[in-house]
Amino acid sequence: MFRYLIRRILWAILLFIIITFVTFVIFFMGPNDPARAQCGGDQARPACLKLVTEHYGLNKPLYVQYWRFFDRLVVHQNLGYSYANGSSVNQTIAKAAPVTASLVFGGAVIWMMIALSLGVYSALRPRSLLDRTAMVFVLIGISAHPVWIGLIFEYVFGVKLGWTPIANYANFFGAPAGSGLPGGPWQWFYHMILPWFTFALLFAALYVRMVRANVMETLNEDFVRTARAKGAPERRILVSHVLRNALLPVVTMLGMDIGVALGGAVFTETVYQLPGLGQNLVVGIQANDFATVQGVVVFATVAILLFNLIVDVLYAWIDPRIRLA
Amino acid sequence: MEASTTGTNNSVVDPNDLLVIDDVKKHFPITRGIIFQKQIGSVKAVDGVSFSVKKGETLGIVGESGCGKSTLARCIIKLLETTGGQINFDGRDITKLSRSTMRPIRREMTMIFQDPYASLNPRKRVGAIVGEPLEVHNLGSASEIKTRVQELLEVVGLNPEHYNRFPHEFSGGQRQRIGVARALAVNPKLIVCDEPVSALDVSVQAQILNLLKDLQDDFGLTYIFIAHDLNVVRHISDRVLVMYLGKVVEIATRDVLYKEPKHPYTGALLSAVPIANPELGRKREPIVLEGDVPSPVNPPSACNFHPRCPRFVEGHCDVEEPPLYSFGNGHVAACHYALERWPMDASEIRRASASRAPEPEPEQPLPA
Amino acid sequence: MHRRLWLSVAMLVAGASLLVAASFASAGTASHALKQGGIWKYGTTGASVQVDPQIAYITTAWWLEYSTAAKLYNYPDKPGPAGSTLHPEVASKFTVSKNGKTYTFTIRKGFKFSNGKPVTPASFKYAIDRVANKGLASPGAQFITDPNGTNIVGAAKVNSGAAQHVSGVSVKGQKLTVHLTKPDGTFMAKITMPFFQATSTALPLSQEVVTVHSANDLPSAGPYTYTRNDVNQLTSVRRNKFYKTGPGRHRPHNLQGLDVFWNQNEATLYNQVAANQVDEDPVPSPDKVQGLANQYKVNKSRFWAKSQNCTGYLPLNMSNSLFKGNLPLRQAVNYAIERAPYVGQAGPYAGDTWTHLFNPGVPGWRNVSLYKRNLATAKKLAKGHLKNGKITVYFRSSGTVNPAQAQIVRSDLQAIGFQSGNINMKGFSGGNIYTAMGVKGNDADMGVSMGWCSDFPDPYDWINVLLYGPSIQADNNVNYSYMNIAKWNKKMASAAKLVGPKRYKVYGQMDLDLMKQVAPLAATRTYNNRYFFSNRINPKSLVYQGIYQDFSIGAMALK
Amino acid sequence: MALLEVKDLRTSFHTEDGIVGAVDGVSFSVEKGQTLGIVGESGSGKSVTCLTIMGLNAKRNTTSSGEAIWKGKNLLTTKPRELREIRGNDISMIFQDPMTSLNPVHTIGKQLIEAVQLHRDVSNRVARARSLELLKAVGIPYAERRIDDYPHQFSGGMRQRVMIAMALINDPDLLIADEPTTALDVTTQAQILTLMKRLQEEFGSAIIIITHDLGVVAETADDVLVMYGARVVEHASVEELFNRPQHPYTWGLIGSLPRLDIDVERLIQIPGQPPSLLRPPRGCRFHPRCSYVMEVCKTTVPELLPTQREPDHLQACHLDEETKDREAAKLLESMMAEAG
């Protein structure tokens, strides 16, 4: 197990270097000019461009810039400063990460709740009305784009019914003093309801199908028959024998999907104007703000790798075949 | 050790031998390490096996799961690269042949697999499946291939009109017939049959066994027939090779092996087979082996059967590896304390006679 | 953001035309009718802008700076010409030495920063030190270290890192003295840029201030001050508690403050304004505009459209073989472009079709239409001048408007004889097209969806900046046409020296002559800003300031 | 009185293609302490028969009729709750594939303890002690240590031992073993069969052993039921069946088996394929493959009747008994002759 962990961590580091370097190369391959963002964009004057370029060392060779970035990151744990607005990328991410975490983890809770209840129920009653309804839900969830769903939700629940805020984020720990903005746990929850559901819908749909298939498959396993032959009641069979086995692949998927989910969060964050990582990424790309883009990529990579590691450990904990292999 | 490694060298190949296997080894490495994967051991799936197969005969290879018989089969037809040893087919050393030089030889040795469900591509029509080897080897035009395929289907007892059907439209036995037709398509000299009937029902199993026998008579085929069912092997084989943990424990002609097994493992296998005759079956007391087959990663020392052997002699069997002792007429067995007679019951078998078995075979070709 | 980027801030009233009103500025419009207090919520699809006074540069940044800055002289919060005259603010007066190289300002007492500290002449000296500082890398440095323009003594030395303080600026009592290396008529306009506002010495000399959590973090002396800046999330300005009416301090400040929400989703932002949860959407999507105009009328209540000092054009690269020495083809392109649908792509009220460089915001412009679309003429002109028949067109691939415009241009090119397979379209996202076209020797024959806005309302910023040959360098060019014709270079240089009405007359004629005789580009359109407001705002309070081309924050009020 | 009496048991599955009559009128009884062998090929209905008795068929799309009388109660109509109390307690079952029949995520100890506690209100400690006792009884070495291991840490043979331990843990009166050794190697099979015999003597349970292997039946069963196409074709004591088989299908089975004890050049093969239960042949279901087929076979279902000589020997064939005796004798003789 320890060996396995070490190996995973070494892999993670290698992957990390590759990903950051590739991001670097991709960014500098294009005709991007990060200095332009600070010099008024389209109308940047030559003098200003020269000044800013030298200031950020943008005229240095790629490998020198990468090395500077890497050295700063590893030695000082510093992701640098935005090319577009000079803010500390560390701070940007420190502010954005809780927003994205709120969205992703809250959304994951909702999607797992939906997926488990609907999935198990439809597996137990295949072809029932609920099962069919669930499949329609799945179809909608899979085919609809989160931005579209988000706009519909905003319009229906925010503009027309007025039940929820249309958009924006409320800090869980209270809004900044004197800002007059909403804050606190309730406001946080209130503002996150629509984003959570929007975000969760696609994954809930995918996972309903997966849970349903897994539960149905596990119900046909020989050991379930063994449990019945022992005289175990159905409820016990479901809880003790079926669910844990059926959820094993779901846990793996969860680990793999966290990266996909972060990607999906970009859309949800954009449409609900949540100042999370995804939105910072989009803005950073639009503004040629490489420092911020790289910072988000680095952070997301680390988060994904870390989360995968946790899932691996969790998986080993649930599945003795891995733990004891 | 020296006797078991005694093999054939090319100069003394018997012209009647179609296939000569000499000290073939297949070790799967076990690696460990984080970045530099160093080999810390190996699974000795096949560990120094030598035998030969004569033209037109059927060699049965029998053993329990994990004894290496399927790996051996794959080594023979070069689906797997061997770790050591030599394979001579029809007078040629094919051990080191490259993919392209091996190609013409692939026509001459084909394989029938265990699972007729898994080994046929469900999206291809029967005609395409059977005709595929013909196409691969460029044997004829499309219409010629079609004619040949229909002929083959007829040979294996299928309706040639079913040329355009998919595998799922056939029953298990019929699918195995398709597998046989595919193996026959290129007129091979040798067919390696890996558990061809173990997935089939008894009545269907008989059909396939009969078919294989008929085809052998009609086309002069040579078979290597791998199975775990001693009944089946006995029925179809001329000679039988028993494997245990990657090694040959005994080779003899069918009748000799079943009537006078010399190796205690062979004896245990024979006595374990239920006999479909209540009077006979219940009278005898099977020799029940203790425990499970050990792991091939870390096989027991010397004679690797010794921890389970009813005639185990401490200080000998676990120290000195038994060579393949010869019992005449090509009957060889790797045991220091070979069975004196057969049948024996469980208590008799425990009394190993102190007398040593005959001397190891001198250097000469293996069983003729 | 891009629309916003186009919003440039005019700040220079050229040379001798600079009239400094001697009289005391009249107080801001009597605001008794307007409600006091309340927070104006402004959402934008754009990314955060810088708030550090010496880093903030044009567009939304300067719109905010104009509400927080106290400058020596300033533009009043008034629309039209009244808004473009300089009035004394922190300085009560200034004198210029006879040789025109020394400016002396008298600083008033009574201005205070939002942290309660008084504004002194040192506050302005500190601003200049920061602008010139090498480590801070202020974009303002180019305006005071220009050997051919404004050049403060010692600024270049500071900018190279050899000194900390600009030696040419000195403080004595309430006097601030600035020495220039040579006389410069544009100095007053330049010193009015927000870079040179009264700056608290609490700001670090060589480090940008980014995060703001209270009025003490980035003190400023104008009517408003930054109280919060969360990058890419929220920027807040609130009343400066220490800004009390007095000499020079007449600027309106009706609102309690203004919150800017960055990076908003276009559709969501529209919904929020429609639901009156946000007060201002400066970027309603083109497909919503007509509906808004129908419902609310234009410039009456909730929908407004205001012109910008910008002209859109297609540069024709005169250094590459196709257009080089090929006046007929350049003219043909001008005749062939179908401008109405081209502008129409941006939706209603986005601007008008235009055929020459000077838009109505450029002094000296003439209301003339040169190249009416005429395909027959275009074909005739193009005939025999297509060279090898191949053309490379750079276009902007982001959004929906830009690619649609590229399609229009493409079909127009086909109409004058280019084969569809020979038109090589290269897409660029965001502003990257400018970078690519700015590299000398690039393979573009023409660019689509490009344009230019005045940085200062003078024809020099158009003709000399965009078409003057000797300024062409290796990269970062803005002369995207790579026009370099000795005769015209000479004309431009001499026109630059002119002053007064003659300057505008000569430039106005040169604009038309260039377009007819050289046609280095095909002008396409003018631009408008469009705004959608909530029902909470008071439309009567909207004062469109021509200098920075947005509504004055100080004048804005809620209902 | 018989321990279990099954009368006219019928089970059908409703599939998309139609109704599959998986069991069609099966009757038999099991006596205390006796072993009944059920032989047949795959799809003959032998497993479904037992699953129906145990109430383990999927509830959806399955209908069953007939009776399975267990201690005066018809198991087919017993409430699920009561049936659960019988399952694993009075009647227990072991399955073909020991690799998949144990839950991979629980230790075998936990699964054994669960089996105890489902039927006995005992503490964990007591249940664990009982589990250990059984693990030792089925010959798991180092049972104290291995009780906390997971199924994947055991070999196939050991897992089957665990399954047997689990089946016997509540002292059942009847053990149903569905192909218990099919997935095992021959030496392991010998171990398991020996173990079952020994345990039967110790625990006194009756056993139903379902298998396709005539050898296994010959060695273990007292009575044998031969099933073909969802029906019983022959039912006799094991000696009767092997010495005087009365059904052409049984002849085919015996003749088609390659054997250690006798030698044949060519196996007797039953032509064709087992019948489809979706659209079974009319009349005797074996008639399309039978070399003794008569007109009557194609139309009339032969009843399962006792032979004149031996009333306990039941068979379902239209052939007259004389012919059958003669053919059976010929078959055995031919095999013996070849052996000789």
Q: Write out the residue range of the structural domain in which residue C391 sits.
A: 307-528
Contact A6 B35 (CB under 8 A): no
The nearest CA of chain D is from the CA of A59 a distance in Å of: 58
Fold adopted by B2-32+40-108+189-356: Rossmann fold (3.40.50)
Q: Across-strand partners of A317?
A: none
- Output the pLDDT for position B33: 59
Residue D102 has its nearest CB partner, among A226, A231, A232, at A226
- Can you list the domains of chain D with their CATH numbers? 4-225 (3.40.50.300), 241-338 (no CATH)
Longest dimension (CA), chain C: 73
Residue C118 sits in a domain of what CATH number? 3.40.190.10
Q: How many CA atoms lie within 13 A of D53 on its CB side?
A: 29
Nearest residue on chain B to A5, alpha-carbon basis: B34
Higher pLDDT, C124 or A159: C124
Tell me what ipTM this predicted complex has. 0.66
Q: How confident is the model at residue C20 (pLDDT cuts 50, 70, 90)?
A: very low
- D266 reaches B (C-beta below 8 A): yes
- Output the pLDDT for position D97: 83
Task: Report d(CA C184, CA C144) in Å as an integer.
Answer: 11
In a domain, C269, yes or no: no
- B213 reaches D (C-beta below 8 A): yes
| C-beta atoms surrounding A121 within 10 Å | 17
- Output the pLDDT for position A41: 62
Contact A158 C213 (CB under 8 A): no
Contact B231 D258 (CB under 8 A): yes
Task: Report d(CA B121, CA B123) in Å as an integer.
Answer: 6
The nearest CA of chain B is from the CA of D73 a distance in Å of: 34
Structure tokens at C90: 């922190």
* Residues on chain B touching D260 (C-beta within 8 angstroms): 230-231, 234, 258, 270, 273, 275
Asked if B315 contacts D219 with a C-beta cutoff of 8 angstroms, the reply is no
Name every residue whose Cβ is closer than 8 Å to that of residue C166 and which is 6 or more positions away in sequence.
C125, C128, C129, C132, C152, C153, C154, C155, C158
pLDDT one-digit tens code per residue, D148-207: 998 888 888 888 889 989 998 998 999 999 988 887 888 888 888 888 888 888 888 899
Ranges in chain A, pLDDT < 70: 1-2, 4, 28-34, 36-45, 177-180, 322-325
Q: What angle do CA C165, C171, C176 make, to 5 degrees?
A: 110
Q: Do chains C and D touch (3 or more CB pairs under 8 A)?
A: no
- Output the pLDDT for position C286: 85
Residue C456 sits in a domain of what CATH number? 3.10.105.10
Task: Report d(CA D56, CA A226) in Å as an integer.
Answer: 10
- Output the pLDDT for position C526: 93
Chain A residues whose C-beta sits inside 8 Å of any chain D C-beta? 126, 221-223, 225-233, 240-241, 244-245, 248, 318-321, 324
pLDDT one-digit tens code per residue, B137-167: 888 888 888 888 988 888 888 888 888 888 8
Pair (C449, C541) in one structural domain: no
Residue to mutate among C232, C271, C396, C464, with most A CBs inside 10 A, is: C232
* Residues on chain B touching A7 (C-beta within 8 angstroms): 34
Strands B38-54 and B58-62, sheet pairing: unpaired
Contact A3 B34 (CB under 8 A): yes
Residue D64 in 3-state DSSP? strand
- Output the pLDDT for position B37: 61
In a domain, C441, yes or no: yes
Residue D88 has its nearest CB partner, among A223, A230, A320, at A230
Unique residue bearing structure tokens 């083809």:
C329
Least reliable range by pLDDT among C221-230, C237-246, C535-544, D132-141:
D132-141
In a domain, C157, yes or no: yes
Contact C268 A167 (CB under 8 A): yes
Helix (H) or strand (E) holding C423: strand C423-428
pLDDT one-digit tens code per residue, A311-320: 777 777 777 7
* Residues on chain B touching A10 (C-beta within 8 angstroms): 34-35
pLDDT one-digit tens code per residue, C472-486: 988 878 899 999 999
Q: What total number of domains does chain C contain?
A: 2
What mean pLDDT is reported for chain D?
A: 88
Task: Report d(CA B345, CA B337) in Å as an integer.
Answer: 16
Beta strands in D78-222 (DSSP E): 91-94, 174-178, 206-211
Name every residue whose Cβ is closer than 8 Å to that of residue C357 and which is 6 or more positions away in sequence.
C311, C313, C462, C463, C466, C511, C514, C515, C521, C523
Contact B235 D216 (CB under 8 A): no
* Residues on chain D touching B174 (C-beta within 8 angstroms): 273
Write the DSSP string, B264-308.
HHHHHHHHHS--S-HHHHHHS---PPPS-PPPTTSPPSSSTTGGG
- Output the pLDDT for position C54: 95
Q: What angle do CA C377, C383, C387 make, to 5 degrees?
A: 135
- Output the pLDDT for position B35: 55
Q: How far is CA C371 from the centre of its chain?
A: 27
Asked if B72 contacts B252 with a C-beta cutoff of 8 angstroms, the reply is no
- Output the pLDDT for position B5: 38
- D185 reaches B (C-beta below 8 A): yes
Nearest residue on chain D to B234, alpha-carbon basis: D260
Contact D186 B272 (CB under 8 A): yes
Structure tokens at A204: 């809930």
Least reliable range by pLDDT among B169-173, C174-178, D259-263:
D259-263
Residue to mutate among A230, A237, A245, with most D CBs inside 10 A, is: A230
Contact A230 D106 (CB under 8 A): no
Task: Report d(CA B32, CA C448) in Å as an integer.
Answer: 60
Task: Report d(CA C43, CA B209) in Å as an integer.
Answer: 82
Task: Report d(CA A168, CA C264) in Å as an integer.
Answer: 9
Pair (C78, C97) in one structural domain: yes
- Output the pLDDT for position B362: 46
- Output the pLDDT for position B247: 93
Residue to mutate among A128, A131, A223, A315, with most D CBs inside 10 A, is: A223
Rg, chain C, Cα only: 24
* Residues on chain A touching C55 (C-beta within 8 angstroms): 38, 86
Q: What angle do CA C216, C218, C222 make, to 5 degrees?
A: 95
Checking if the pLDDT of C1 tops 70, the result is no
CA distances from C464 to A139, B66, C490, C514 (A): 60, 87, 11, 12
- Output the pLDDT for position B36: 59
- D270 reaches B (C-beta below 8 A): yes
Nearest residue on chain A to D162, alpha-carbon basis: A226
Structure tokens at C506: 């000569």
Asked if D33 contacts D207 with a C-beta cutoff of 8 angstroms, the reply is no
- Output the pLDDT for position C22: 34
> pTM score, two decimals?
0.71
Pair (C352, C207) in one structural domain: no
Residues of chain B with CATH 3.40.50.300: 2-32+40-108+189-356
Task: Report d(CA D24, CA D44) in Å as an integer.
Answer: 10
The nearest CA of chain C is from the CA of A301 a distance in Å of: 22
Where does residue D64 fall: left (phi above 0), alpha (psi -120 to 50 degrees), or beta otherwise?
A: beta
Task: Report d(CA C399, CA C403) in Å as an integer.
Answer: 7
What are the φ/ψ torsions at residue C342 (nearest 5 degrees)?
-60, -50
Residues of chain A with CATH 1.10.3720.10: 100-324
Nearest residue on chain B to A4, alpha-carbon basis: B34
Structure tokens at D255: 């003749």
pLDDT one-digit tens code per residue, D192-223: 888 888 888 888 889 999 998 888 999 899 99
- Output the pLDDT for position C395: 93
Q: Across-strand partners of C316?
A: C446
* Residues on chain A touching B35 (C-beta within 8 angstroms): 10
Contact D86 A321 (CB under 8 A): no
CA distances from A130 to A121, A127, A135, B176 (A): 8, 8, 8, 43
Asked if C280 contacts C54 with a C-beta cutoff of 8 angstroms, the reply is no
Helix (H) or strand (E) holding B51: strand B38-54
Name every residue whose Cβ is closer than 8 Å to that of residue A97 and which is 6 or more positions away in sequence.
A276, A277, A299, A303
- Please name the chains neighbouring A, where neighbouring means 3+ C-beta pairs under 8 angstroms: B, C, D
Q: Across-strand partners of B26?
A: B46
Q: How confident is the model at residue C329 (pLDDT cuts 50, 70, 90)?
A: very high
- Output the pLDDT for position C4: 28
pLDDT one-digit tens code per residue, C364-391: 889 899 999 999 999 999 999 998 999 9
Residue A222 has its nearest CB partner, among D89, D101, D106, at D101
Helix (H) or strand (E) holding D11: strand D4-15
> Whose CA is closest to C249, among C443, C475, C87, C49?
C87
- Output the pLDDT for position A304: 83
> Whose CA is closest to D92, among A228, C188, A82, B20?
A228
- Output the pLDDT for position B365: 44
Q: How confident is the model at residue D295 (pLDDT cuts 50, 70, 90)?
A: very high
User: pLDDT > 90: what percent of chain C?
Assistant: 61
Residue D84 has its nearest CB partner, among A231, A318, A321, at A231
Q: What angle do CA C103, C106, C109 make, to 5 degrees?
A: 150
**CATH top-level class of A100-324:** mainly alpha
Checking if the pLDDT of C147 tops 70, the result is yes
Checking if the pLDDT of C50 tops 70, the result is yes
The nearest CA of chain A is from the CA of D237 a distance in Å of: 28
Ranges in chain B, pLDDT < 50: 1-11, 354-355, 357, 361-368
Higher pLDDT, C325 or B356: C325
Please compute the mean of the pLDDT values over residues D253-281 and round it to a whole number.
81
- Output the pLDDT for position C14: 34
Residue B274 has its nearest CB partner, among D155, D215, D252, at D215
What mean pLDDT is reported for chain C?
A: 87
